[in-house]
Amino acid sequence: MAELKNMARLPVLKRGIETKEKIINAAWILFSDKGYFKTNTKDIATKAGVATGSFYAYFNNKKDVGIELIRRFYKDGTEKVLSHTIKKISDMLAENPGPKTVRMTVKFIIESFKEFHAISPMLQRDALVLILMDEEVKNVSREEDGKILSFLIEILQQYKEYLRVDDVEAAATLLFRVSDEVMHRIMIHNDEIEAERLLRELEDMICNYIFVSDLK
Amino acid sequence: MAELKNMARLPVLKRGIETKEKIINAAWILFSDKGYFKTNTKDIATKAGVATGSFYAYFNNKKDVGIELIRRFYKDGTEKVLSHTIKKISDMLAENPGPKTVRMTVKFIIESFKEFHAISPMLQRDALVLILMDEEVKNVSREEDGKILSFLIEILQQYKEYLRVDDVEAAATLLFRVSDEVMHRIMIHNDEIEAERLLRELEDMICNYIFVSDLK
Amino acid sequence: MAELKNMARLPVLKRGIETKEKIINAAWILFSDKGYFKTNTKDIATKAGVATGSFYAYFNNKKDVGIELIRRFYKDGTEKVLSHTIKKISDMLAENPGPKTVRMTVKFIIESFKEFHAISPMLQRDALVLILMDEEVKNVSREEDGKILSFLIEILQQYKEYLRVDDVEAAATLLFRVSDEVMHRIMIHNDEIEAERLLRELEDMICNYIFVSDLK
Amino acid sequence: MAELKNMARLPVLKRGIETKEKIINAAWILFSDKGYFKTNTKDIATKAGVATGSFYAYFNNKKDVGIELIRRFYKDGTEKVLSHTIKKISDMLAENPGPKTVRMTVKFIIESFKEFHAISPMLQRDALVLILMDEEVKNVSREEDGKILSFLIEILQQYKEYLRVDDVEAAATLLFRVSDEVMHRIMIHNDEIEAERLLRELEDMICNYIFVSDLK
DNA sequence: TATGAATGAGGATTCATTCAT
DNA sequence: TATGAATGAATCCTCATTCAT
């Protein structure tokens, strides 16, 4: 039934597309500023310069903009950040193949996670909350996480010969979760420990875990 | 002003203490069952067998019961679970000193995290959300996390000679966060990957990271 | 599930009972004046001199006050009007037994329906609409109609010897519906035909239908 | 002002007429299926394959389609059903004149009402509601009812010599209302009593009321 | 201390109708 | 003529918290 009620207008004219975009941008600004939960649909519509009804013409409800934003967020993260990382790693491997690049690769990955989380910590936080509290959002995130995981697995497999782990999928999952969590602690929870110390250990941990030790 | 508003009664008489306890128990049951956000104060009061007004005689607001419960939660976690772990480790070390206990220790630690998170995943989840959304709760959790961290540091220092990490505090923090996160993925997010695979890798990762490699 | 959510407060203290009564009275006035559909819960609360929330403390929703009012309406109709009619008929039969009272009885019944519908035509109309549009209200009305039907059957059975109909239940039902409908046409639809003519025919029709013809 | 606002296009070109027809058909389907109130203008337009705006080019508002449909409904009822009945009665009278046809005539009339109401109970119900709630619709229905009434009077006058009622107009009105109401109870309210019993009594009542008794 | 009634801001959503293109 | 995007008033209901008794 939830599927059937997907009544949101699919804009065909340029004007409609623009309006939808205006709403998304307004939501982005408001969510980044006040957070998802303190923003209401009327605010979003007003900020977008449209009527409340228009909001509901393009989105079934507030959650749906949230999901849309989370998707874009992930997309940006994967397209701009992770794929960029892959490129960097490939370039590096082309120039300078061999075990010496391993640590650099890990650095790059961590760096890309950092960049990803720096885009909008507020949104990251609220996304985290939504994922915890809403099944639909959880599924969206799971779906998107799957893509990131594939990236990581792909990267790891480029180093097949230097891996010390057998279960690459589980290792990649762990690598993903661990990096993600560390970024959360740094960007969202503002844990007392200095970010640098944590990041240094993170890098060290990953290298020692994933790769055989006699490389360095 | 926050100070002034702390009107909640501090029960001294046995009866008052019992009433407060009844409220906490009711809240615990309800939060574990329906979650913090879907439980309202009236329900709690009703379940506790007191009037709504009485709830506010013992707690300033709903959040405060949440905090109280989170504190107890942590307390249980540290007292019943972690301290029990420490004991197990000490016993093991007494009986069988040396590097061979390292991996067992890590297993114990992971196991204790698992037990801790198994108490009430629903509450864990809502605590997570509250921590993300409320500064006061965040501080409470930070405080309690500090205690757990101390435990871990204490344990690690028992193995001083076998440690490969320099920054023990950061390592312990990482160890804490990583274990916590993995439990969340397993207990709360129900990630698709099998728990066993993830846990096996977690153990492997921690061992390789924390301890020198020529032990096993 | 609808049953389970019967959260409406059951007032225990005098104050609560009074408030509920105030709300019902306000609703009655507003419904009679503007009609059910043009009245909203906020209006009712305001008129009752209470907060919106109080409205929802005593009623799950607007429909529920409507139902409550419909019930009271019926109750008034049956208690004050119909039972009064029964009494009049009994008195008449006691004084002056025999077939001559038949027509008078029918007159009394019609008169009682008229009185019943004269209480608040606006509410009658809205009740009619609600019955048509809402299953729950329909059931309430069916239930209450059953009581009126029993009254009618009871009356008819007092004239057992003069009845020409076999299926008394069906006859009473028809008698009920026909009288009701005629009142609706007169009080609600304001049909063009003069009420007197219609009522005269109604009486004539019922007498000829229900009773043997050689009485008069 | 009401006059001024009658901007609805009066289609003269074939295309316009077709579009209007498409809208009416779509509305018919939707109203019969989900009812008038749960159908919105957008749905109607979509189902008709036109834009929302086009709807308002042909109708001033949603109610107007309702009225149009009610008119057609009545027209179908009178043309296809009632006039067909008149024909059947005329044929019968031609073949077999005399008092024996009286009961058959009543049967035919009741049957025609039944057929009429069977076309679309959902629409009947909503028409009923609209008539109760909207003055304009009430007037339309009154107008159309007048036509049916004329039919009935016409029929009754064919039996002038057997009638026992004096006020034929009032009698016809009563006959109309009574039959209509019984059909509502059967088709819309689904009263508990079996339709057959009610219909049998209805027929009996009408015969005894309208016609002299020594016919059968 | 305890009770339970009262508060009321606050937010999501709908849909008939209008309007710009 | 036709399109489909835009409008925005209107309404229901929740629940943490306060208050009168």
Is C73 within a domain? yes
- CA of D41: nearest nucleotide by C1' is E16
What do you get for the CA distance between the two ends of chain B, in Å? 58
The model's pLDDT over D23-58, given as tens digits with 9 standing for 90+, comes to 999 999 999 998 999 999 999 999 999 999 999 999
Quickly state the pLDDT bin for A212 (edges 50, 70, 90).
confident
C97 and C192 belong to one structural domain: yes
Cβ contact (<8 Å) for A178 and B173?
no
Cα separations in angstroms, C144 against B186, C62, C109, C132: 56, 20, 17, 15
- Cβ contact D158:D98 at 8 Å: no
Write out chain B residues lying below 8 Å of A188, CB-based. Answer: 132
pLDDT of residue C187: 95
Are D54 and D95 part of one and the same domain?
no
Q: What is the pLDDT of residues C6-48, one digit of tens each?
A: 567 777 677 778 899 999 999 999 999 888 998 999 999 999 9
Cα–Cα distance measured from residue B116 to residue B72, given in angstroms and rounded to the nearest whole number? 12
Number of domains in chain B: 2
Are C201 and D132 inside 8 Å of each other by CB?
no
> CA-CA distance, D41 to A188, in Å (whole number)?
47
pLDDT at B2 over 70: no
Residues of A contacting chain B (CB within 8 angstroms): 37, 125, 128-129, 131-133, 138, 142, 164-165, 167, 169-171, 173-174, 177-178, 180-182, 185, 188-189, 191-193, 197-198, 200-202, 204-205, 208-209, 213
Kindly report the pTM of this predicted structure.
Answer: 0.84
Kindly tell me if the per-residue pLDDT of D101 is higher than 80.
yes
Instruction: Count Cβ atoms within 10 A of the Cβ of residue B96 and give its class: 0-12 exposed, 13-18 middle, 19 or more buried.
Output: exposed
For the ranges B173-177, B189-193, C138-142, the maximum mean pLDDT occurs at: B173-177
- B113's CB contacts (< 8 A; 6+ apart) are B179, B180, B182, B183
- Tell me the average pLDDT of chain A: 88
Q: Do B167 and A197 touch (CB under 8 A)?
A: yes
Buried b (16+ CB within 10 A) or exposed e, C14-42: eeeeebbebbbebbbebbbeeebeebebe
B60 Cβ contact partners less than 8 Å away, ≥ 6 residues apart? B5, B6, B7, B8
- Residue D100's pLDDT is 81
For residue A123, give how far its alpha carbon lies from the nearest alpha carbon of chain B (Å).
12
Domain of B190: which CATH number?
Answer: 1.10.357.10
Interchain touch C–D (≥3 Cβ pairs closer than 8 Å) = yes
Rounded CA Rg of chain A: 20
Å between A213 CA and F17 C1'?
Answer: 61
Q: Which residue is nearest to nucleotide E20 (CA to C1')?
A: A15
Inter-residue contact B181 to A188 (CB < 8 Å): no
Residues B17 and B85 in one domain: no
Q: Does residue D4 sit within a domain?
A: no
CB contact at 8 A, C180 and C208: no
* Lowest mean pLDDT, pick from A27-41, A195-209, B88-102, B128-142: B88-102
Q: Are residues C141 and C100 part of one domain?
A: yes
C-alpha D145 chain-centroid distance: 8
Are D173 and C191 an interchain contact pair (Cβ–Cβ within 8 Å)? yes
Q: Tell me what pLDDT residue A93 has.
A: 83
Q: What is the DSSP letter of C37?
A: T
Helix axes D195-210, C168-183, angle to 10 degrees: 70
Tokens for C39, please give them.
């009245």
D153 inside domain: yes
State pLDDT tens for residues A28-54. Answer: 999 998 889 999 999 999 999 999 999
Distance in angstroms (rounded) separating the CA atoms of residues B53 and B62: 12
For D61-86, the three-class secondary structure string (H helix, E strand, C coil) is CHHHHHHHHHHHHHHHHHHHHHHHHH
**What is the CA A193 to C1' E11 distance in angstroms?**
39
A2 in a structural domain: no
> Using CA atoms, how far apart are residues C130 and A89, in angstroms rounded to an integer?
70
Contacts of D129 in chain C (CB under 8 A): 129, 132-133
Residue D2 lies in a domain: no
Q: Cβ(A179)–Cβ(A110) under 8 Å?
A: yes
Give me the residues paired with residue C163 across strands.
C211
Cβ–Cβ < 8 Å for A52, A45: yes
Average pLDDT, chain D: 88
User: Would you place residue B8 in the very low, low, confident or very high pLDDT band (cuts 50, 70, 90)?
Assistant: low
Give the residue on C whose Cα is nearest the Cα of D205: C209
Distance between CA A38 and CA C29 in Å, rounded?
A: 39
Q: Which of residues B39, B58, B77 is at a domain's end? A: B58
Positions on chain E within 7 A of a protein C-beta: 1-21
Together in a domain, A69 and A24: no
Q: What's the token pair of residue B110?
A: 């992971």
Across residues B29-55, what is the average pLDDT? 92
The partner residue sitting opposite A132, judged by closest CB among B128, B191, B200, is B128
Chains C and A touch (3+ CB pairs under 8 A): no
A38 and A129 belong to one structural domain: no
Tell me whether residue B67 is in a domain: yes
Task: For residue C53, say whether its CB is under 7 Å from any atom of strand E.
Answer: yes
How much is the pLDDT for C214?
A: 63
Place of tokens 């001083």: B160
Q: Which chains touch A (3 or more CB pairs under 8 A)?
A: B
Distance from CA of C214 to the nearest CA of D (A): 11
What does the radius of gyration of chain B's CA atoms come to, in whole angstroms? 20
With a CB cutoff of 8 Å and minimum separation 6, the contacts of D76 are D119
The Cα–Cα gap between A74 and B123 comes to 28
Does nucleic acid strand E have an atom less than 7 angstroms from the CB of D176? no
What lies within 8 Å, CB to CB, of D186 at 6+ separation is: D117, D195, D198, D199
Asked whether residue A11 carries a pLDDT value surpassing 80, the answer given is no
**Structure confidence at residue A4 (pLDDT):** 38
B67, B144 contact by CB (below 8 A): no
Q: What is the pLDDT of residues B67-107, one digit of tens each?
A: 999 999 888 888 877 778 888 888 888 888 777 888 899 99
* DSSP state for residue D38 in the 8-state scheme: T
Mutation site for D-interface testing, chosen from C137, C204, C216 by largest number of D Cβ within 10 Å: C204
Distance CA A124, CA A138 (A): 13
Number of H helices, E strands in chain D: 10, 0
Six-digit token pair at D80? 């296809």
Q: Are residues B97 and B167 in the same domain?
A: yes
CA angle B146, B149, B150 (to 5 degrees): 90
- Asked whether the beta carbons of residue D133 and residue C37 sit closer than 8 angstroms, the reply is yes
Digit-coded pLDDT (tens) for D116-173: 999 899 999 999 999 999 999 999 999 999 999 998 998 899 888 889 999 999 999 9
Based on the domain organization, do A148 and A119 belong to the same domain? yes
Is C13 (CB) below 7 Å from strand E?
Answer: yes
Query: Which range scores top for mean pLDDT: A64-73, B15-24, D167-176?
Result: D167-176
Asked if residue C1 is part of any domain, the answer here is no
- SS3 at position A97: coil
The string of pLDDT tens digits covering residues C170-214 is 999 999 999 999 999 999 999 889 999 999 999 999 999 999 876
Residue whose structure tokens are 């360095």: A216
E strand segments, B21-180: none
Backbone angles phi, psi at A10, to 5 degrees: -100, 105
d(CA A9, CA A7): 6
Tokens for A115, please give them.
């960049």
Same domain assignment for residues A50 and A91: no
Contacts of B133 in chain A (CB under 8 A): 37, 125, 129
Neighbours of D126 (CB within 10 A): 25
D33 and D81 belong to one structural domain: no
Dihedral, CA of residue B176, residue B179, residue B181 and residue B187, to nearest 10 = -140
**Within this chain, do residues A54 and A66 fall inside the same structural domain, yes or no?**
no
Size of interface A-B (CB pairs under 8 A): 97
Structure confidence at residue A3 (pLDDT):
34
Chains A and B touch (3+ CB pairs under 8 A): yes
CA gap C21, D128 in Å, rounded = 32
Tell me which residue range forms the domain holding A133.
62-210
Q: Please answer whether residues B69 and B31 qualify as being in contact, where contact means their C-beta atoms are separated by less than 8 angstroms.
A: yes
Q: Is position A54 within any domain?
A: yes
In angstroms, the Cα distances linking A152 to A127, B125, C85 are: 22, 27, 87
* CATH number of the domain residue B35 falls in: 1.10.10.60
Nearest to B174 among A132, A142, A198 (CB): A198
Same domain, A24 and A109: no
* Residue A10 predicted with pLDDT over 80: no
**Helix, strand, coil percent content, chain D, rounded in steps of 5:** 80, 0, 20
Amino acid in the structure at residue A84: H
- Residue A50 (CA) to nucleotide E20 (C1'), in angstroms, measures 15
